[in-house]
Amino acid sequence: MHALPAEMLSAGTDAFVCPIGVGIDALVCPTLRFAPFAANSYNSRVASHKEIQMRERIVAAIRKVPRGYVSTYGAIARAAGYPGAARQVVRTLHITAGLPWHRIVGAGGEIKLRGESAFEQRFRLESEGVTFRGRRVNMRVHEFKFAAARKQPRSKNSAKTKRKLKRKS
C-alpha cells in the first residue's frame, strides 16, 4: 500500500484528501493519478516532472492497443518516444491501475509473467480472440503496429548546424 504524507490525510482519520478537491482517492484525484509521492518497494522518493511525463506518455501508448491485439514492452517504449525504456513500461504497468496490462507481452509474443498471473494473462488474451503458437502469441496476426513517428525537421539553429558553421569559420 502507498504511504501518504500526513498533510494528505484528514486529521485523525485514514481518509485521503485530494489537494484540489476532486476526489477522495489517489486514483480519482487527477493531480495524483500516479501517486508520485508514494513510498513503496520501487520508489522511496518523489517522482520528478520528467518521470511523470514519461509515465503519461507510456500510459497513452498502452491505451492505444485495441482489443484482440498485443504489443511488446519495447514497442510501447518506442511509441511513447523512449526507445530502450522497456523496463519503464513494466514499472508503469505495475504501479498504474486500470490499464489493459494483459495486452503487453515480451519480445516474440512471450508471456513474461510467472505463475497464476501468466495463466490469467493468457486467459484474458484468449477471451479477446488472440491466438497462440505454442506458448507465444501469434504476433503475425495479433501484433499492433503503431503509426511510424514522423521525424521533426531540424531547425536552422540546431546544435549540429551550429557545429558545422563553427568548423567552417
Sorted by where each begins, the domain ranges of the chain are: 1-47, 51-146
**pLDDT, tens digit, 9 for 90 and up, residues 52-86:** 999 999 999 999 999 999 999 999 999 999 999 99
Determine the pLDDT at residue 45.
64
- Taking the C-alpha atoms of residue 59 and residue 46, their distance in angstroms, rounded to an integer, is 19
The angle that helices 73-80 and 86-95 make with each other, rounded to 10 degrees, is 100
Neighbours of 132 (CB within 10 A): 14
Tell me, yes or no, if the pTM score tops 0.75: no
- Average confidence (pLDDT) over 135-164: 77
Q: The C-alpha cell of 169 is what?
A: 569559420
Assign 3-state DSSP to the chain and report helix, strand, coil percentages, each to 5: 40, 10, 50
For residue 146, what pLDDT is reported?
93
Query: 89-133 pLDDT, tens per residue?
Result: 999 999 999 999 999 999 999 999 999 999 999 999 999 999 999
- Which of the listed CATH numbers 1.10.1060.10, 2.40.170.20, 3.40.120.10, 1.10.10.10 matches domain 51-146? 1.10.10.10
